Structure 1
């Protein structure tokens, strides 16, 4: 049965750029053709002729407590500001019921950086532990902003570099299509920090003055800013009398699967994403009135983008195309949403934005780029394109006249798991892992932690500052004290779950060790195994296969090498590590290695980020946007400063024995880190069966929520209520009740707080109808493999469904709560329907109903 797509309209906008800090002034600055690129005082201390489009406005944060402001970095503060402005313009800032259902999707490239700038810039005395705790994680801006705005519909952090914010808009669009909410908030935020500026500067792609896309001297102008839009279901918006500023007709992503930084010279990925977006919208190239191009000003981008448009549009010479980066620079992760807003505030006035600074067109750039002056034309349907490192491509189709274009329809698909691949400290493939667990799970030998000398030197210097300034006591309490015998480098028992004796060439047909990071290798092995199990071979049809990766800390070793190269002279930074330090680098490596070219996205929402990837992979399959999608996550062990500080803060249980890792134990001591990867192949079960692949299970539904207590660790009741809400939403989505669940699988990392949140939520959800439902958690087998803990547990669940038997929770001797039916001994039981739950460290909660 065909399902008509919902109309998704824009009812609120917020902006912050070098030009203005509000919508009205932003529109006026555009119409007056003001340019925001100027000499940079901030970066001139390191670089000659440093130019940037910087945000120099004072941000009005008067309504926030001083303690909260001190906890926020600019990525979060800017996201909060534009998000609040968008909600106010939409008339939803005080609409409590709508806010409690509204989700938040944030796009950013270099989040979590600001708190650690004192280390990179060699001014450790300025380090703020408060900012590091609340804004030091990649996804922390999601948690802080959702808390401050009162959003409870769940969050995700998109980290696809320069396509992050249009990707965020597209995800929000799809969640509304699937009925996950009547409204969503999409945000792009990107302050420019030294590591980013130094990377682009060293690549020699900066324009000496101001970029002039498609003409003159090549080169980009880096910029910073933030933008937010409220997306709302059309009927919901009309019913409450909202002003409609535009309609998102469709979007699509793709991957070049070609190179880490350079675009495919054939422009295949760019062509593919435009055609797919138009197909999703049900429009033809002839109906597109205008293209707002990525238009960075670099020779490679401008020529390939021009070639792509020539291949897509039969009458391309009549098409109006322009780049707005000559106004406010390249805003990296926020670029797409800032440029979208620029279109939405000018096109309704029949003013087509010009490409400023246009001079002599460059070779092969011979289209109508609307040079220098506005073109007056009535525009209805326009296209917004963005491209990024790693070959990530994104295209949105937008209408300035909501309701004027017929909606498309799709045949809603069931979503099955047809392949799974995994590796961890207890096995290099799924069979080895399951064999280890089913044979009683003898504890593995943990690997020792040896911190690099550079890290130890930094850590000692930092700890000295924190002790002298009393910051440790202020954050962790008056009784907190550091004793030398407890420091990670002195603690003889500090070990982690590490993968040993791995030989990648035994698992992979193609493997280039020169480009492979440890985490990338893990992901690729798991991906290859999932495809093999599903009997799926990629034979020049990679565009039909998508990939959504969930990241926690990302490519840590590469990032470490890149950041260390900033010292003592950031002008001599190692460019070879720059693209590899991005969160989407692992997806890029996998895409290039296997030829995956379909919908490609990287989420960096932290712990259990792969569960966020699973929700989005589900959306893509269900809406028939792609036939198949790979979802997963990967983590590599690296003795980083983050690992060191987590140990000092006692988040990590420093131990020498795997059996000391006791999930739901009476004396919780934190988690023991692990490394590994897990990947699933999702598709319609009928397609899998037609190929002769076994359907391992189906995803019957899911629910998401987030708590609003990010700045108050004591509010575990509110957090468990948020997880209970996610469980309720999952059961409702699947059309079942708690009584239909045969098994609950938690993914608590082992800390007292995360255990209490899960246990209280399970009790609240099941105590009336199904209190004796068995509860398991298998993280102690693997160590806490942060990004994909949920998927590794799901791998065991699938085996439980197949064998109708449930392994016991390992190692825990005395459980913390007698109300819960923890599986203490192996259990023989019919397992048909399982509830899988998980959380991020920032208070984002997931629940899935899995059916055998």
Structure 2
């Protein structure tokens, strides 16, 4: 293969919101005046003594939005919209409809989807808003609302790696430009402080009584909130349109300590590894780094380990000045990295290095040049931005303040093949069992009853009383919809789910600790182990050569439920044991620690089919030769949560007692039947696999993404279908094939009327002219709708279809709703070379992949 130059990726737009300011100029002025945003918190003083925080208290102008939209959104979405719009305006792109259609959105956040449900665990249930719950209650809902409001159609993803979320989002945006998916990308970090987050850190006893003083004095962090946005743009494109360049992203990297759920590796191995990898990706050496903007939380463990990591990385070189900007505006959790990066971008052009404020006496083992208290006059070209998170997630970014001054690095583009698969579902605990059931048509399972914890039932009854009394259902769904007694939980006909039963983890795993394993984590680990075994990949001391990207929908539901319940009645007594386990990256962390996976590590939480987002990101990492191998996957655990009640109320769920009633694409669709399980794939270059004597199962030869701008109007199905068709068109173009060359289409509709109609109309639009008789399948009826992993579970069946040159029929469905489409109704022998896999999230984000047989 031939090496190729990386594309230059520059920053052309900035948006900021912090405790210091709500615009770039005021933010810069506050930094230069060494303003400290940490103060007494009136909001949290209600529960906690000496509650201190760096809060956003500005009166933000949302006059461009209707009151209905404002009432539908939480602060995470409103702030992301504000800074995103500011960044696009700053870049001169806010009215460029042609470019916005090609621009994708990556959001980094830790505690999304929380605000709508605050009334439930703050014991003010009368304040609950169904509108806000529907439009802002999903973890990735801010992506859908913001992309709609800003007119972006390049596809979205939500990164949920806690305190590394926003720099990781910038890194993903960088990758999509590298692969030519777009000339422009919008990366956003947004993080309001909510009670569960504040209570968790407070209970861990890591809060500073005044304002944090990283690397010095008394240890302790200051929690903060805020948002930041950057427009990333391909260099030649930016120059051609005369854009102002504020910096160049040279590279980034992520890694995992694979050590502990909360504490950093005392050897600082992962923190050092990620810096070395980022410099390697940029093609630079340690002596070229002029400045390091540290994570610098102010806690004893972080500051000591981060200092040790820098000593390891810069061994034999002069260690550059280091400072922590958290001393200005606190720790902004998911938004921390991007807000701190923006602080550098607005001050370094004046040849001034930000100081570490509140600096007193250096702590033991903290003996670097931390630029104490006063600005340092120094010209900086290249600086490093580091962030670390719970679970040992690490992220490092290399940035140049003089775009075009550093030679671009080179890489060898790789093909991307699937060499290992693993899965757990209701019809089997391994890929072999699942495929055997499907091929033999023995996939009919007994559904399991949904049983809700008693306290959840009481909560639901109280909530439904509020909804009834305030007529919120009628307001949203019209007078025809009334919440009558037979819709109350006790009046529901029982509904059931596809659940994994009789699973014995120790039969599948060499090492298994049930005390640390959640149900979803167990599924993921079993699937992961199977994929590694099939690909003959044993992890010895080379875990840094293997990455893992997980896509989550609901995440560790049971742990999250227990943590939130412990907030009542006294948030000061919250159970800290569940705090890190309630984060969206907890399952990825569990898998990394269990197997010693230390390479590129990321968790996406983009909702239904989030694992397809993980597949696009894993593809990028392998294709750019950033990592030899990457595991991608998704996992879902059944838990009778409040969201099940809500979905039952709004008829999204199909309440049935027979699996055969789950008829995807049926004439009379009733909604989806939930499933649980996991699916994992191992991706690598086929030449490397063949060199190891490993069979290549299939190759991913192209993909496309798109998102609709109809999040607030469910009735605009035509736009949704057009957006999904756009993703398919982009995938075909990326693969270099025509629609006529596609031999089979595999959909992943959950079976609801809207989902199925959008998917089928998009398939028809794409193939009506060149191949109207292309066969269409969907196997969700076999294992239930396993939300995050539905697309990957269908992909495992596709791989077997390519191998067998045969296609099993769509299960159960007898009468299909659209005669224009050739649904596979009977077993089909078919010559297969290219299969198109398509999928969607619930928020209107669409994926398409071209899978090639070998």
Partner in structure 2 of residue 523 of structure 1: 524
Q: Count residues in correspondence.
A: 852
Partner in structure 2 of residue 256 of structure 1: 257
Deviation at 1:353, TM superposition (A): 0.1
Deviation at 1:493, TM superposition (A): 3.5
Contact kept? 1:527, 1:679, Cα under 8 Å: yes
Partner in structure 2 of residue 537 of structure 1: 538
Partner in structure 2 of residue 658 of structure 1: 659
Deviation at 1:443, TM superposition (A): 1.5
Deviation at 1:797, TM superposition (A): 0.4
After superposition, the C-alpha distances for 1:146-175 in whole angstroms (9 at most, x for unaligned) are: 000000000000000000000000000010
CA distance in 2, matches of 1:786, 1:477: 28
Deviation at 1:441, TM superposition (A): 3.4
Partner in structure 1 of residue 734 of structure 2: 733
Partner in structure 2 of residue 108 of structure 1: 109
Deviation at 1:483, TM superposition (A): 3.3
Asked whether 1:226 is paired with 2:230, we answer no
CA distance in 2, matches of 1:366, 1:24: 34
Partner in structure 2 of residue 273 of structure 1: 274
Partner in structure 2 of residue 764 of structure 1: 765
Contact kept? 2:464, 2:488, Cα under 8 Å: no
* 1:371-382 equivalences in 2 (<5 Å): 371-382=372-383
Partner in structure 2 of residue 714 of structure 1: 715
* 1:199-210 equivalences in 2 (<5 Å): 199-210=200-211
Deviation at 1:685, TM superposition (A): 0.3
Partner in structure 1 of residue 625 of structure 2: 624
Aligned residue for 2:632, secondary structure, equals: strand
Asked whether 1:438 is paired with 2:433, we answer no
Contact kept? 1:386, 1:394, Cα under 8 Å: yes
After superposition, the C-alpha distances for 1:447-502 in whole angstroms (9 at most, x for unaligned) are: 00110111111100000000110101111221112333344444343000000000
CA distance in 1, matches of 2:284, 2:828: 55
Partner in structure 2 of residue 698 of structure 1: 699
Q: Which moved more, 1:435-444 or 1:403-412?
A: 435-444
Contact kept? 1:441, 1:810, Cα under 8 Å: no
CA distance in 2, matches of 1:75, 1:758: 29
After superposition, the C-alpha distances for 1:21-56 in whole angstroms (9 at most, x for unaligned) are: 000000000000000000000000000000000000
Contact kept? 1:247, 1:401, Cα under 8 Å: yes
CA distance in 2, matches of 1:686, 1:485: 60
CA distance in 2, matches of 1:141, 1:738: 33
Partner in structure 2 of residue 556 of structure 1: 557
Aligned residue for 2:218, secondary structure, equals: coil
CA distance in 2, matches of 1:477, 1:816: 26
Partner in structure 2 of residue 346 of structure 1: 347
Asked whether 1:513 is paired with 2:486, we answer no
Aligned residue for 2:451, secondary structure, equals: coil
The alignment's C-alpha RMSD in Å is 0.7
Contact kept? 2:286, 2:317, Cα under 8 Å: no
CA distance in 2, matches of 1:316, 1:344: 25
CA distance in 2, matches of 1:489, 1:738: 50
CA distance in 2, matches of 1:830, 1:486: 49
Contact kept? 2:37, 2:54, Cα under 8 Å: yes
* 1:130-149 equivalences in 2 (<5 Å): 130-149=131-150
Deviation at 1:314, TM superposition (A): 2.8
Asked whether 1:19 is paired with 2:16, we answer no
Asked whether 1:677 is paired with 2:678, we answer yes
* 1:796-815 equivalences in 2 (<5 Å): 796-815=797-816
1:522–1:824 distance in 2 versus 1, CA, 3 Å:
same
Contact kept? 2:728, 2:847, Cα under 8 Å: yes
Partner in structure 2 of residue 407 of structure 1: 408
Aligned residue for 2:838, secondary structure, equals: strand
CA distance in 1, matches of 2:704, 2:442: 31
Partner in structure 2 of residue 594 of structure 1: 595
CA distance in 1, matches of 2:700, 2:770: 23
CA distance in 1, matches of 2:479, 2:168: 44
Contact kept? 1:310, 1:316, Cα under 8 Å: no
Contact kept? 2:13, 2:230, Cα under 8 Å: yes
1:316–1:52 distance in 2 versus 1, CA, 3 Å:
farther
After superposition, the C-alpha distances for 1:619-673 in whole angstroms (9 at most, x for unaligned) are: 0000000000000000000001111111111110010000000000010111000
* 1:89-100 equivalences in 2 (<5 Å): 89-100=90-101
Contact kept? 2:835, 2:850, Cα under 8 Å: yes
Aligned residue for 1:186, secondary structure, equals: strand
After superposition, the C-alpha distances for 1:289-316 in whole angstroms (9 at most, x for unaligned) are: 0000000000000000000000001356
Instruction: Give TM-score scaled by structure 1 length.
Output: 1.00
1:839–1:711 distance in 2 versus 1, CA, 3 Å:
same
Aligned residue for 2:723, secondary structure, equals: helix
CA distance in 1, matches of 2:344, 2:36: 16
Deviation at 1:442, TM superposition (A): 4.1
Q: List runs of 5+ in structure 2 lacking aligned partners.
A: none
Partner in structure 2 of residue 192 of structure 1: 193
Contact kept? 1:189, 1:334, Cα under 8 Å: yes
